[in-house]
Amino acid sequence: MKTYTERYAETLTQKLEPSLSKEAIISLIEVPKHRGHGDLAFPCFQLAKEWKRSPQAIAKTLAVQLNDPLFTSFQAAGPYINAFLNREVVAQETLTEILQKEEDYGAHDFGEGQVIVLDLSSPNIAKPFSMGHLRSTVIGNAIAQLAEKCGFETVRLNYIGDWGTQFGKLIAAYKRWGNEEAVKRAPIAELFKLYTRFHTEAVQLPELEDEGRYWFKELEAGNEEALSLWRWFREESIQAFNAIYSLLGVRFDSLNGEAFYNDKMEPVVTELQEKDLLEESDGARVVRLEASIPPALIKKKDGATLYVTRDLASALYRKQHYHFDYSFYVAGNEQTLHFNQLIQVLKKMGYCWAETMEHIPFGMILKEGKKMSTRQGKVVFLEQVLADIIQQAVQNIREKNPELLDQERVAEQVGVGAVIYHDLKHHRQNDVEFSYDDMLRFEGNTGPYLQYTHARALSILRKSKLSKPVYKEGATVTDQMWELITQLTYFPGHIADAFEWRDPSLLAKSIYKIAQCFNHYYAHTRILVGGDQEQKIALTKATAIVIKEGLRLLGIQAPEEM
């Protein structure tokens, strides 16, 4: 079904072509802030110069010429033409479509036949999964869900940090202070303790850095003791990560980490040499880029490869293996330069598909306004956060609804949903302040508020005993109903916008607005009594369908009871 913005644009196009195309008109149409100004508004400023008339005069002339049965009237208001939708027609069209399509409502097909590879999460082995890694995980997962809703096929990759000098440092720390039994009892916590101790003591013992470099060289050379410790650290870490991913409802198609590309980098270096792109700089090998971008360091003086080298190998492998149409890297703002260099090097190598690679940056999670640091031990562990917030949810449920069945499962859905929504409601490039209190509130713009609104709607449906309500033509559409129906009509467009801008917060705002309007409608309407009861139940069911689907796209479950 066409959006009502498109329908208004088509009506205007009949009068405005060739001065403005339909696409140009769509880009200009606005939603008025005040209900009295109509449902859609078109500004006439761009026509003034060509038509040699004032925008006010153009609006006044055009308003009386427009005609479309979907709209009850077109009114000139200064330089704007305000369009008023036919509430009864829109209500029937929108609610009938939602009730028929259910979870397919809002789907698009513009991505059909195209593949997107998403690189997300990417925690480092032997370190706890921090709140910092949460952002890449839930933002990437939501963008993948949105992409699938828009018709794309997705491939989700977890490019685990399982190689590099930090593992030489960890091996050195384990050799000095490690205890096998302690690591077996609590592997991640103990390894993290060793990692932070290494950096603390290296301040007073500079020779520790040499030990770390030595053990990483041994690891690269295939030293069996180093490899055995590395494999052990990796296996324990992945088991711990998988427990968190299971709780978050996040899946991956590949866990190939950095180590997977160890044997794939040298061919890349050879190709760069053959294409005469490598230059020497103070003993290192670099690829020079545009004047505004520093050279990409491919090999250090000692011959060691770097992140760009590895990511070049991974990009080439992914293109060959997955035949992607787009490749998204969901990584922090601080990695923008790295991905600019990666894409520019691939372009210089002659790979035009590098244009389809995109870095999707995001801000940090702050604690008391400051960046978290695993090296200094100043970090909040996601596993502990989830455990704490689920326990808080259990306590809330026992206080507010002690008769609820399966309290632990619902508390898990609420707690995990609270953590995910607290992240995704913010624009991804903004920093987010970590706050237990903000996450688990049952009012305002929070996950539990949206889940509770969904559960409230289902409770009404159960009491109504109308399993398949039908919205019939001719029902009275009150102001409260119209506010809600209008938001439901925007939902498909918000899905497309959230994907196009790679910004799940646009979808979060949409669901929140729907929940607000439903609760306002509920407060002013006796849904289960009085006239037009089936229509009111149809609106309630449509609202529940859309909120549940919106939450699913964000990676959040919608409990039936709370």
Report, as an integer, the average pLDDT of 224-233: 96
Local confidence band at 368 (pLDDT 50, 70, 90 cut-offs): confident
Round to whole Å and give the CA distance between 516 and 421.
16
| 273-314 pLDDT per residue, tens | 999 999 999 999 999 998 889 999 999 887 777 889 999 999
Say whether 284 sits in a helix, a strand or coil: strand
Above 60 in pLDDT, residue 377? no
Reply yes or no on whether the pLDDT at 230 is more than 70: yes
Please report, rounded to a whole number, the percentage of residues in the chain having pLDDT higher than 90: 84
Q: Looking at residue 305, what is its pLDDT? A: 77
pLDDT of 376? 52
Per-residue pLDDT of 137-183, as tens digits, reads 999 999 999 999 999 999 999 999 999 889 999 999 999 999 999 98
Q: pLDDT digit string (tens) for 19-35? A: 999 999 999 999 999 98
Report d(CA 74, CA 84) in Å as an integer.
6
Average pLDDT, the chain: 94
Question: What's residue 126's pLDDT?
Answer: 87
Q: Count Cα neighbours of 215 within 13 Å in the Cβ-side half-sphere.
A: 24
**What's the predicted TM-score (pTM) here?**
0.93
3-state secondary structure of 281: strand
Q: Across 141-231, where does the E strand assignment appear?
A: 153-157
Structural class in CATH, domain 395-554: mainly alpha
How many of the other CB atoms lie within 10 Å of CB of 86? 17
Could you tell me the residue ranges of all domains in the chain?
4-85, 120-263+324-371, 395-554
Asked whether the beta carbons of 531 and 445 are under 8 A apart, the reply is no
- Residue 355 pLDDT more than 70? yes
How far apart are alpha carbons 357 and 511 in whole angstroms? 30
Class of domain 4-85: alpha beta
Asked if residue 478 has pLDDT above 60, the reply is yes
CA atoms within 13 A on the CB side of 58: 20
Is the pLDDT higher at 523 or at 185? 523
Cis peptide before 18 (omega within 30 of 0): yes
Let me know if domain 120-263+324-371 sits in CATH 3.40.50.620.
yes
| pLDDT tens digits for range 432-457 | 988 888 888 888 999 999 999 999 99
Q: Burial, 145: exposed, middle or buried (Cβ in 10 Å; 0-12, 13-18, 19+)? A: buried
